Homo-oligomer: A and B are copies of this chain.
Amino acid sequence: MTGFHVDLSGRGDLATRIYQQILAAIRDGTLRGGDRMPPTRELAERLSVSRNTVAAAYDRLTSEGYLTGRVGSGTFVGTFKKARPRQAPAGSIQPRALWGSIAAGVSSTETPDYDFRVGVPDPAYFPVQTWRRLIGQSLSTELYRAPTGSPALRAAIARYIGQSRSVRAAPDDVIVTQGAQQALDLVGRVLIDPGTVVAVEEPGYPPARALFASLGARVVSVPVDAEGLAVQAIPRGTRLVYTTPSHQFPLGMPMSLERRIALLDWVSRHDAAIIEDDYDSEYRFADRPLAPLQSLDHDGRVIYVGSFSKTLLPALRLGFLVAPESLQPALRTAKQLTDWHGDLTTQATLARFIEDGYLARHVRKTMRGYDRRRTMILDILRRDFADVLDVVPSVAGLHVTAHLHPHATLTPDPPVAVRPLARFCADRPLPGLVIGYGAIRDDRIADGLRLLRASIHTRQ
């Protein structure tokens, strides 16, 4: 066991004080049945008391059954039910008023029976063997790094997004983050003053909205139509626009090229910036991808954000951002002050995974699985849901969204894990469903959608 802390400050009989503190630790579970106690001599030395004093305390605890001595092997804690677990005090200090109005929407970590959750890949696809081998090779004992993260990983990411997304980035332009969420946080810290107007898509991604609000922004909703964000509806005074042009979250359509150019033009004229969240466009099942805003931007106003949460696992917490040079020094400082940098062993592992070609192969392979699930779901929706749902056309990502017909309603607690579209609406709740196909097993799709269909009722 760890050096046991005994507090002898104050007055009173030393043996009794030692007795009481060990007793309290046994009763609240801090010391557990079977834990070995430090030898009396060691504890006496550490506490600068005589060995007899510690022995007296141990003797009393032993006679009361709390400790047991085993000849030749030491003194151990007996087994008891915890009387009252040790816990932090209730507290008399309150958080800032702002936190009363912000909900993070923590998701359940249970795996549901019919797992149509949004925004998660299939954990069974995670390349455990390869990753275990690479992590063993990548274990690092360096003390720390620059806040931008592992140089090997920054180089691998710059090349990867250069090839696959034509993003313009040198290795030094990349900042590795704890998932895309931290990338949004860093940009927010650097650009959002109290009251700064930040425009987000409606419907949109609630954790982004909540984050910007927590940083003191005035968050405004901008509607989306079939071409994406309605640029003409961005309010004057907006300083930052958060958008998902590759695969609008949650609706799924891409932003049209005309709209991309209009958005870039708008931010240039109004001295605003854009966060382009390219959260899942690695999975694309048809059509040519359009160039990202970052590579169309000639004015240096786009911060490109990506993540490996969909291609690998969200639990790895690996994301990144590429910002124009004018923002890089502040972003690096913000990253340093926030948490220094991420886990270097995990970063080195991902660098090898990309550079050795595993990532490209992994995306190609898993693409086939997701494509199969997507096709199965779209076929069933077309066949069995035509009278209640309108599917939003989409060719990328790991979920599909559908609007509910005006006469149709979903029962409040359907037996399958689909998300009501209203959960992604901040203003007017839209009736609809968001159906993820990242984690659903192939053999559960038909049954799951049958249960879902039975949960949608129509009024005449």
**Interfacial residues, chain A to chain B (CB-CB below 8 A):** 1-9, 21, 25, 28-32, 46-48, 85-96, 98-99, 102-104, 106-107, 109, 120-121, 123-124, 126, 128, 131-132, 135-136, 139-147, 158-160, 162-166, 168-170, 172-173, 177-179, 181-182, 185, 189-194, 207, 210-211, 214, 216, 257, 268, 271-273, 287-291, 295, 297-301, 313-317, 322-334, 336-346, 357, 359-360, 363, 439
A96, B317: Cβ atoms closer than 8 Å: no
> Which residues on the B side are within 8 Å of A329 (C-beta)?
95, 99
With A315-B143, A338-B185, A343-B342 known as contacts, the answer to whether A326 contacts B93 (CB < 8 A) is: yes
> Which residues on the B side are within 8 Å of A132 (C-beta)?
136, 139
A46, B288: Cβ atoms closer than 8 Å: yes
Quick one: closest B residue to A35, CB to CB? Answer: B163
> Which residues on the B side are within 8 Å of A121 (C-beta)?
143
- Among A191, A268, A271, A336, the one with the most B-chain Cβ atoms within 10 Å of its Cβ is A336
- New A-B contacts (5) at CB < 8 Å, excluding given A2-B164, A92-B324: A2-B363, A28-B162, A30-B159, A88-B323, A90-B300
B95, A299: Cβ atoms closer than 8 Å: no
A338 to B178, CA, bound (A): 9
A sample of 10 inter-chain contacts (CB < 8 A) reads: A2-B360, A4-B164, A7-B166, A48-B288, A89-B297, A93-B326, A95-B191, A104-B333, A135-B345, A315-B344
Q: How many copies are assembled?
A: 2
Q: For the complex of A and B, list the 10 residue pairs with the smallest distance between their C-beta atoms, beginning with the closest.
A: A91-B324, A91-B326, A91-B300, A95-B330, A30-B162, A178-B339, A89-B300, A104-B336, A99-B330, A88-B173
With A136-B136, A145-B315, A330-B99 known as contacts, the answer to whether A86 contacts B340 (CB < 8 A) is: no
A47, B288: Cβ atoms closer than 8 Å: yes
B7, A291: Cβ atoms closer than 8 Å: yes
A155 to B207, CA, bound (A): 28
A19 to B156, CA, bound (A): 24
